[in-house]
Structure 1
């Protein structure tokens, strides 16, 4: 039996089933647990959560106060809407409205931090022989999905800035976000999009069973070490199967995200139509985040260079329609890219244009002719020429070549 009560009626011994609010807004990395003491209650109330769902089958009840007219009790039947469903509907309507990059970045940073902590905790539990918490995984996917729906560039771009020692965990967060973004451009339905996001989050679960010295090796792997690492898709698939509550799409992507169109991938050497659309999506999203991320043994490529390289590989390795949807989701000039304008000025890409992949919104800040910094100027290259300077992108630049200090802060701050 589930009951919705005001947070102020919580007491030790109650089983907390769900919090009426966003997972990212509350101070716990999981939302189902027994209330231990007054400190748990204080943290919930202080974080602005006004109502909660408790499960009377696993914990104590409370006598409703006469003033609490909103207290609702319901049986967990197939005909009744569950609290998670009600909360999910509220989130979609209230929290997934489109937003500007500047509005979404702060929220996305918080989501990245909380998601990384949740993934670390989930992976650690798997290392200890415990089943992965699908409730927590679902909450992570929900918040990431909502951020991508509001503005895909914010979280995807922030996740790319991961530190080398964060790679294993933040890679899962980034691929989750990319899978959701690509799903939208392929017009997949809500259920498929959520499962694609879950697949991105769990696709590398098998790496928790790889030898740490091989996984974190600060140099190129030997042939023998690479053969060991090639076992992670099957190990992850086995772990997810043993969990028993994972859908077919995450299982498929976990096992087949290293398959390639030309049959050169692993573990089964599948070709073309033998690979599902979701595994094809996983292949593209996994590679993009891997090559744009700083790793213990190499610095990541710039987003534009990565898109260029992947386009060169695409005929043999990636499904054409999936790759086009991917490029549409991140842009030819992804957020954070350094570009040269026709005037000789340098600018950083701030936001994609819904009308054209080659006319993003940029922040101009440097003159290559005078070799000096300029007062920052934001230009929307998609606006008609008569409404702005007749600028266009003529190429991309490597920020390392110019030795700009705190370059990422020019778009992420």
Structure 2
């Protein structure tokens, strides 16, 4: 009978006894070498430092049969260069800080919002996409995210997104470029990712609006009609003379899934173009963090957890992990409660300690509004000489906080 079982950190539960890590204990903050998981914070810490751990079935509260159901069949890891064959990958570095980049990000998004609105209006009226105009408009966004993605990621979370509007397309472009930056893709590929992300759902402009905005679950026939937006999108690209293969692949295959459960072709794994695998992650994250007829919006961190649990099931693990690195375990706009009892909103992630982002405090430990909200860096902050930590993430709108009313002091 096996006494230790290899379990990925995405599958850990309170009550499991961790007997070994996938790396030296000295490379982690865990003082005790071998412990039973008692809190969600311990799980999050393990996920930050490890891909998998060894769990002792004799010392865990779960039955061995329960633990065995958590075992996954290993898949050989693939380097990012192997996923994006023939592309010149190179790491990016932050060339500006959040405060300096914020006004430039606002200016870049203002330009793009206006032009994107015009594009959607033109297509709605039966016209074509002016690809050259969109390419020019997206350049300031790419420049801002390349220098430092935090400002754009913060601004996009302040918007009230209409599920089928140009604003959702704008958010998708920001997430896609941020992920492309994390992957080290060259600027021309970042442009393709932005274009593809913005146009993924352009075919929905040809879907019956009563179906599109139905405030209920769709019938089988309506669902089939909705799925036609992929084909409509391909037609719009063709009519507009857009020949960029990455853009075409993202529009055509962003609903395909690695396990073959997607549509329209039921492609599996590497059959799905790499950029379309990226698009699927972006599209799903956008849907999870938006209000839907059948489910309220998840918190950004909740959506991240859901994506993480879909690794190597619906989405390629390497790309999911890169996306989490790109936007953070607690993405910008996540409402959080700290160990001090104070409540705030995540403003920007830490590139080195992803559980310690910058947070703007909004409520005191009595959950009353602060007279002067302030931004703190959890890498440096403390509460009574104890490190200040995120106790838990909160659902959107918790304590009646409306992010649309939130502004960073001094900006």
Tell me if structure 1 keeps the 8 A contact 2:256–2:263.
Answer: yes
Cα distance, 1:300 vs. partner?
2.3
**Partner residue in 2 for 1:203:** 200
Query: What SS does the corresponding residue of 1:340 show, helix, strand or coil?
Result: strand
Cα distance, 1:406 vs. partner?
5.4
- The structure number with the bigger radius of gyration is 1
Quickly say closer, same or farther: Cα 1:383–1:141, change in 2 above 3 A.
Answer: same
> How far apart in 2 are the matches of 1:246 and 1:159?
29
Matched, 1:239 2:236: yes
- Post-superposition Cα deviations, 1:214-233, rounded to whole Å, max 9, x if no partner, equal 12223322221111010111
> How far apart in 1 are the matches of 2:115 and 2:103?
19
Quickly say closer, same or farther: Cα 1:295–1:119, change in 2 above 3 A.
Answer: farther
Query: TM-score of the superposition, structure 1-length normalised?
Result: 0.69
Tell me if structure 2 keeps the 8 A contact 1:206–1:237.
Answer: yes
Tell me if structure 2 keeps the 8 A contact 1:161–1:293.
Answer: no
Q: What is the alpha-carbon root mean square deviation over aligned residues?
A: 2.8
Matches within 5 A, 1:48-67: none
**Partner residue in 2 for 1:341:** 338
Tell me if structure 1 keeps the 8 A contact 2:254–2:280.
Answer: yes
- Post-superposition Cα deviations, 1:322-359, rounded to whole Å, max 9, x if no partner, equal 11111111100111212222222223212111212111
Matches within 5 A, 1:9-408: 98-165=95-162, 167-294=164-291, 299-368=296-365, 370-374=366-370, 375-383=372-380, 390-398=387-395, 400-404=397-401
User: Which structure 2 residue ranges, 5 or more long, are not aligned?
Assistant: 1-92
Cα distance, 1:196 vs. partner?
1.5
Quickly say closer, same or farther: Cα 1:296–1:179, change in 2 above 3 A.
Answer: same
Query: What SS does the corresponding residue of 1:317 show, helix, strand or coil?
Result: coil
> How far apart in 2 are the matches of 1:405 and 1:176?
23
Structure (1 or 2) with the greater helix fraction = 1
Query: What SS does the corresponding residue of 1:362 show, helix, strand or coil?
Result: strand
Query: TM-score of the superposition, structure 2-length normalised?
Result: 0.70
- Post-superposition Cα deviations, 1:172-209, rounded to whole Å, max 9, x if no partner, equal 11111111111111111222222122211221121121
Cα distance, 1:131 vs. partner?
2.5
| Residue-pair matches, total | 317
Tell me if structure 2 keeps the 8 A contact 1:261–1:271.
Answer: yes
Quickly say closer, same or farther: Cα 1:339–1:410, change in 2 above 3 A.
Answer: farther
Larger CA deviation: 235-244 vs 100-109: 100-109
Q: 1:409 aligns with which of 399, 406, 411?
A: 406
> How far apart in 2 are the matches of 1:297 and 1:119?
28
Tell me if structure 2 keeps the 8 A contact 1:348–1:411.
Answer: no
> How far apart in 2 are the matches of 1:164 and 1:158?
12
